[in-house]
Amino acid sequence: ACPPLRRNLHLLAPDEVELAKMLLNEGQMHLFEHWPEPGVDNDKKKSFFDQVRRLNSSYPGGLVSYIQNAKKLLADSKAGKNPYDGFTPSVPSGEVLTFGYDNFVSLEAAGVKEARSAAFVLVAGGLGERLGYKGIKVALPRETITGKCFLQHYIESILSLQEASCKMVDDGCHTQIPFVIMTSDDTNALTIQLLESNSYFGMEPSQVKILKQEKVACLTDNDARLALDPNDKYKIQTKPHGHGDVHSLLYSSGLLEQWKSEGRKWVLFFQDTNGLLFNAIPSALGVSATKGYNVNSLAVPRKAKEAIGGITKLTHVDGRTMVINVEYNQLDPLLRATGYPDGDANCETGYSPYPGNINQLILELGPYIEELKKTHGAISEFVNPKYTDSTKTAFKSSTRLECMMQDYPKTLPPSAKVGFTVMDTWLAYAPVKNNPEDAAKVPKGNPYHSATSGEMAIYRANSLILKKAGAQIADPVVDTFNGQEVEVWPRITWSPRWGLTFKNVKEKVRGDSSISQRSALAINGRNIFLEGLSLDGTLIINAVDEAEVKITGHVQNKGWAIQHVDYKDISEKEKIRIRGFKFEKVEQLEVNYTEPGKYSLSA
Ligand code: UGB
């Protein structure tokens, strides 16, 4: 059927002949049409089959399934078929938590207690195309007062939870909370390098497991013909399959069974650049435990059109219901098609009635394993081709099938307990996803989700938490960086072992303390107590865990001034340019307590 391939057949191993037959059966003859006579490019022909073998083995059901699923989804897309056909959306009800309330504090305690039976999974295989940053996103500074990167913050948060959780039981618990990172070819080497060159940020290397997702083949047309790499005609072009791969990877890794045998109960999934997330983890885990949720998604109030999915109750004409994320690009058409002519619009609260999914999922391990035994972790897929015109016959560029981790509940039986927990945005959600140019175009009032807003959100949250704990924190000023207007609060930051929960923070803010607007405060240590500190400038405190330090009195210095940086100014490092500001370190008080003991800093 394919003369160029037939002429080369004797070069192929038996399994390669089978793969070739499979490709021809699935209409992929074009992959071989340019193959020259045997003797020319023989190595490249071999490496072509190495790749086909990998693509075949990394997809549930192999390439045949991939191509057949693609044909079906592409036909549905061409026909304009709505994946939500038969479903009517309505606003679901869930847990709504308010920071600092008694209920919040007791849920935090319940969550910390559960944490020792949890495992954390970070999905970090994405390239971050919207951000356009050249490195991996977890290596970006979460804030630039300390310069600590997201990954360091996540690891320190997990270690703090581990310790606090173990302390709550008196059976000498020494558990290590497992931490899995899903990487991809785009992020794997840099992630390992970041961990290794920083001694895993204090975590035992054996506690961290890396699972690498494979990419999937790109498709050139509605017949699901696989795309050849424009730069290498012996290579199939590939693209990421999406964060949904995390479920099949966890299933095939055997980790879930191992965790079950260790008595673990919860698996927490989270994304690469949300510097506020761990403010929400203890209470959300508390909700899962007290409500007995098999699935708990974290959510925040959502502005209409914001690029985060909406949590929606879907009721089918046949009576089925499910509470599920409807992705941001699908919510508007679904609403319009079901009797809401305004589509994805804000209601009288100024927000969309559908809570925004921040893709932090807490799954109960037992039911999760049972479900994956049935599905092997396969998640419902979708395709999103960009057509050249309304005939929908050709694509502007190749496409591929994708899947999302939050679609996991789609296959669950109606008896599953699926819930969600809504938290204040200022407390729980500040991702870094958009480049400066796109962020500046975000409609006024909607969040920027940029490096600028991501960092400012840390200072805002910490200021508000300290305020709630009784400190006087100056009001913010409004400033514009990279075309984005943001609130600039005092630049307050602390390590997770200082302020893991609100109770921890309250215990450490004792006297009347105050912090002026132009101040920066970095607290790095467990037992540092603010007992009537009045800060007007920059104060950096580092203390080993065994040092107990009381800070009192007035600290005044020239401090660290904020300087504007233009994102186009290539004389600045990219990680600075994308946030639009940097600190000019004029003067600070830095104190270091390296030995155990009781200390008092009376400024
Ligand atoms: N990721 C992977 O690990 N592998 C992949 O193949 C792709 C991504 P994006 P997205 O909370 O703000 C999600 O690109 O997909 C990782 C939710 O779908 O940042 O546009 C990647 O490294 C949406 O409902 O986001 O939108 C990153 O950690 C909403 O919740 C994560 O997956 C939105 O996030 C997310 O990837 C949000």
Nearest residue CA, atom 10 of ligand 1? Answer: 308
The pLDDT tens digits of the residues spanning 105-124 come to: 999 999 999 999 999 999 99
- pLDDT band of residue 169 (cuts 50, 70, 90) is confident
What is the spatial distance between Cα 490 and Cα 393, in angstroms, rounded to a whole number? 55
Residue whose CB lies within 8 A of the most ligand 1 atoms, among 180, 305, 359, for a mutation test: 359
Question: Which residue puts its alpha carbon closest to atom 6 of ligand 1?
Answer: 242
What is the full DSSP assignment across 173-236?
------EEEEE-TTTHHHHHHHHHTTGGGGS-GGGEEEEEPPPEE-EEETT-PBPEETTEEEEE
Q: Quick check: 132 pLDDT over 90?
A: no
Cβ neighbourhood burial of 207 (10 Å; 0-12, 13-18, 19+): middle
CB 422 within 8 A of CB 355: yes
**What's residue 494's pLDDT?**
98
Q: How far is the CA of 404 from the centre of ligand 1 (A)?
A: 8
404: Cβ below 6 Å to ligand 1? yes
* C-beta of 302 in contact with ligand 1 (< 6 A): no
Residue 511 predicted with pLDDT over 90: no
pLDDT tops 80 at residue 271: yes
- Digit-coded pLDDT (tens) for 227-261: 999 999 999 999 999 999 999 999 999 999 999 99
Say yes or no to pLDDT of 444 above 90: no
Q: Kindly tell me if the per-residue pLDDT of 522 is higher than 90.
A: yes
pLDDT score of 306 more than 80: yes
Residue pointed to by tokens 């796109």: 438
Which DSSP letter does residue 385 get? -
Higher pLDDT: 61 or 372? It is 372
Poorest-pLDDT segment among 46-55, 260-269, 438-447: 438-447
CA distance 260 to 102: 32
Q: Which residue has the tokens 């690029």?
A: 307
Q: Do residues 473 and 489 touch, judged by C-beta distance below 8 A?
A: yes
Looking at residue 129, its pLDDT comes to 85
Q: How far apart are CA 118 and CA 124, in angstroms?
A: 19
Q: Which tens digit of pLDDT belongs to each residue from 318-349? A: 998 999 999 988 999 899 999 999 999 999 99
Tens of pLDDT, residue by residue over 491-500, are 999 999 999 9
Q: What is the ipTM, given to two decimal places?
A: 0.98
Mean pLDDT over 585-599 rounds to 97
Length in residues, the chain = 603
Q: Give the rounded percent of residues in the chain with a pLDDT score beyond 70.
A: 100
Block residue for tokens 């494979």: 214
Asked if residue 178 has its Cβ within 6 Å of ligand 1, the reply is no
Residues 6+ apart with CB under 8 A from 381: 69, 73, 244, 401, 402, 403
- For residue 553, the model assigns a pLDDT of 94
Give the containing element (helix H, strand E) for 17.
helix 14-25
How much is the CA Rg of the chain, to the nearest whole Å? 26
SS3 at position 377: coil
Residue 428 reports pLDDT greater than 90: yes
Residue 272 CB less than 6 A away from ligand 1:
yes
- pLDDT reading at 172 higher than 80: no
227 lines ligand 1 (CB under 6 A): no
Measured from the Cβ of residue 234, the count of other Cβ atoms closer than 10 Å reads: 18
Helix %, strand %, coil % of the chain (to 5)? 35, 30, 35
Residue 243, ligand 1, Cβ within 6 A? yes
Percent of the chain with pLDDT over 90: 91
352 DSSP β-pair partners:
302
